[in-house]
Structure 1
Amino acid sequence: MAEYDVIADAAGLDEASILLAAGTGPVAVDVERASGFRYSQRAYLVQVYRRGAGAFLFDPPAIGDMSALQRAIGGEEWILHAASQDLPSLRELHLDPPSIFDTELAARLLGHDRVGLGAVVEDTLGITLAKAHSAADWSTRPLPQPWLEYAALDVLHLVDVYDALVAELAEQDKTEIAAQEFEAVRTRPDKPPREEPWRRLSGLHTVRGRRALAVARSLWQAREDYARDQDTSPGRLVPDRSLIAAVLADPASKQELARVKDFTGRASRTELDRWWTAIQTGRAETALPAERVPGDGMPPVRAWADRNPPADARLKAARPAVEQLAVDLRIPTENLLTPDTLRRVAWAPPEDVDAESVGELLADHGARPWQIELVAPVIAEAFVESVHAADAAPADAS
């Protein structure tokens, strides 16, 4: 087993950065977080590999300023696996690639049945990676040597995987498709914060009444504030199901809350005053939350036949056509065009349906040029056929 050291100071970062800058070709980058353990999604380990330089493991919390690494590799193509997961944590460290190659996304576009890192490495290189530490708490210090070996392996093979996938993309004439998708991932803006994130509480659908919802909201906020203060994953303090149990129990006192059997979690009793105060705050709230959240303007697809029959017909005509095109191209349907985009175009199509007008509408909804070129004619044809089918249908004899 190879021994790996973690670089945890500015001097080590500077030395490694010099070596990486002198390497050749693209740079493999990976991030380890402590999801499920810590409140934040910060990077607790950054792994970097480049041919001619080697593999380096960096401890960002200990190092602080990572700008030397950005200067060393900031002009090179970065290879990541499932880049959308790692880019936010990297940008928090001011590590920002000028271009990327996403090995997971490439495997999807190539029609691979398995797209996890271990599967892609095995399928392309014939090497089996152990994934024993994928769910580890990477905020642990010191990091055990087997974890460090696992982390290094996440980047050691990525450049070889890159070479194999680049060749496969060229063979399937998907190089430009992949390039557009990679750039879309790299430049995609962060999602805006949810207006009411507390509504994602698991089990909230069992809560009835605006006052009870206010209590649920107050408990969620109290847990969120405490989790942020402790830098601990909220669910590790008090699980969602426990907050909901407290709401449904409707305790009359702090003592009754303590006796709620399903109100569990490591902070459920040690912070009992906090949770009781939250319950009282929710009960005293004057601005009560709505029981139902307004939708985005489109009803569920199952209601389209009654609410908007032409839209229903358009969707039923276009969806199988797009799915067949995806099969022909060996690209997952959701990568060829997201189901949500197809629904929106079917619900509110252009006034004059043709490939150009459909393409413009697809672009408004964020579709990339390659997607538009391939699916716009198919969708336009399906929409027109849906109208002809409706015109040809016999009138209702009743």
Structure 2
Amino acid sequence: MESREKALPGQAKNMNNLAVPPYRLIRTNDDLKQFAGKIDREPFLAVDLEADSMFHYQEKVCLVQMAGNGENVVIDPLEVNDLAPLAPLFKNKRICKVFHGSDYDIRSLYRDFSIEINNLFDTQLASMYLGEKETSLGAVVNNRFGIQLDKRYQKKDWSQRPLPDGMIEYAASDVFYLIPLAKALMTELEAKGRLAWVVEECEYLSGVRPVENGDDPLFLRFRGAGRLQRRNLAILEGLLQYRKDLAMKKDRPLFKVFSNTSLLKIANEMTDTPQAMEAGRCLSPKQIRIHGNSLAEIVKQAKAIPSDKLPVYPRKRRPSVSPKVPDRVKAIKAWRDKIAEDLELDPALLFNKALLTAIAVKRPTTKKELAGIEGIRNWQVKDFGKDLLTVLSTVP
């Protein structure tokens, strides 16, 4: 196991004089097994990832950083070909896994390694439920510990090998602060009676999974597609398929092939010649020179599709609801906003818009009925259910 005895950037001199340990770079299966066997008795395990989504079509995890009880390691999954020894650690309910902004990391670990997580604690989510306005890791660590984290490598290509020492040190430094941060946040949440809220939200968050498009049209995951006419939608789908094929061939992320704005402009204006694309400033001159004819042909083909063969954007039919529902939504929203103001929280953290609407439609009269509404949390029923039902009872 390779050890780097350098001090990490932003040493925690004012974190009760806690010195940042040197990190160890794990690049072999044996070293990973040794680490996993040593760390599996720790109550807290801090985790962070670095990926290459800015540089490749099929993104992948390029580093896994973990820390606990003086251990501070950086695992290279591009050299360690089997991360199976980590799976029991992540699944162990006794070990609290600490992440910051974990949604992407949870999806990535499951996608690349089939790793599932139990007993998650997300320090960004915790900061939000404490009313923090700035919740990036850098802002939170600076606010709590007076430490400036180095962010110069944040958008670098983590798939390059060998990685410069500075990038590895950057990765190792981020994960080190998560456990003391989590403990501080847990104490504050407990004092405010909100720890159970975050624990339950983290339990739901740990179940997120990557979204697979399968054989569905690509326009279903394209912002703005639902506003297009069917002919324009056919053009957009052809353009998206072309971009996907090109991105796979070049191993580049989609946005570095053509921007969404460019493709939407072509689909909207139905520009079917390179000259029209240039006049409409749909693409750069270089893109038009290389791809203009191919894209124009896609537009022409879509224009020739018979009307009855054009794609249809699927729309969910809204169920008919009582005309009193808007009044109920307004009443409980006013109640929620007042509570949020008193607690100095973002109102959506208490009850989001979709949940407010669902409650207004169902109009529960008991806590049991309230608890049966899809998406509602136990903490929302327990701590706010009685008052919420009272508000509902005042609206016809």
Q: Which TM-score bucket, shorter chain as reference?
A: 0.7 to 0.9
What residue in structure 1 maps to residue 219 of structure 2? Answer: 198
Whole-angstrom distance in 2 between the partners of 1:190 and 1:65: 21
Instruction: Give matches, 1:158-237, under 5 Å.
Output: 158-188=178-208, 193=213, 196-198=217-219, 201=222, 209-237=229-257
Per-residue deviation, 1:117: 0.9
Verify: 1:84 aligned to 2:94, yes or no. Answer: no
Verify: 1:67 aligned to 2:84, yes or no. Answer: yes
What residue in structure 2 maps to residue 337 of structure 1? Answer: 351
Alpha-carbon displacement from aligned partner over 1:240-283 (angstroms, at most 9, x marks no partner): 22223433554555676688743239765445565345334433
What residue in structure 1 maps to residue 311 of structure 2? Answer: 289
Per-residue deviation, 1:325: 2.0
What residue in structure 2 maps to residue 42 of structure 1? Answer: 60
The more displaced of 326-335 and 158-167 is 326-335
Aligned positions, number: 371
Secondary structure (helix, strand or coil) at the match of 1:386 reads coil
Distance change >3 Å, CA 239–CA 73, structure 1 → 2: closer
TM, length-normalised to structure 1? 0.81
Whole-angstrom distance in 2 between the partners of 1:234 and 1:282: 22
Which amino acid in structure 1 is aligned with residue 362 of structure 2? P
Whole-angstrom distance in 2 between the partners of 1:260 and 1:325: 50
Contact 1:39 1:232 in 2 (8 A): yes
Distance change >3 Å, CA 192–CA 202, structure 1 → 2: closer
What residue in structure 2 maps to residue 8 of structure 1? Answer: 27
What residue in structure 2 maps to residue 396 of structure 1? Answer: none
Contact 2:51 2:61 in 1 (8 A): yes
Distance change >3 Å, CA 188–CA 5, structure 1 → 2: closer
What residue in structure 2 maps to residue 28 of structure 1? Answer: 46
Superposition RMSD in Å:
3.1
The more displaced of 123-132 and 214-223 is 123-132
What residue in structure 1 maps to residue 75 of structure 2? Answer: 58
Alpha-carbon displacement from aligned partner over 1:192-224 (angstroms, at most 9, x marks no partner): 7495542554665886x4223211111112212
Whole-angstrom distance in 2 between the partners of 1:66 and 1:274: 43
Secondary structure (helix, strand or coil) at the match of 2:61 reads coil
Per-residue deviation, 1:316: 1.2
Distance change >3 Å, CA 288–CA 126, structure 1 → 2: same
Alpha-carbon displacement from aligned partner over 1:149-187 (angstroms, at most 9, x marks no partner): 221121011111112112112212223222212111113
Per-residue deviation, 1:288: 0.7
Contact 1:242 1:265 in 2 (8 A): no
Which consecutive residues of structure 2, in runs of 5 or more, have no partner in the other structure? 1-5, 9-22
Instruction: Give matches, 1:260-339, under 5 Å.
Output: 261-264=281-284, 269-271=289-291, 274-286=294-306, 287-290=309-312, 293-295=314-316, 297=318, 309-339=323-353
Per-residue deviation, 1:334: 1.5
TM, length-normalised to structure 2? 0.81
Whole-angstrom distance in 2 between the partners of 1:267 and 1:237: 9
Secondary structure (helix, strand or coil) at the match of 2:395 reads helix
- Identical aligned residues as a percent: 25
Per-residue deviation, 1:78: 0.8
What residue in structure 1 maps to residue 20 of structure 2? Answer: none
What residue in structure 2 maps to residue 354 of structure 1? Answer: 365
Which amino acid in structure 2 is aligned with residue 82 of structure 1? G
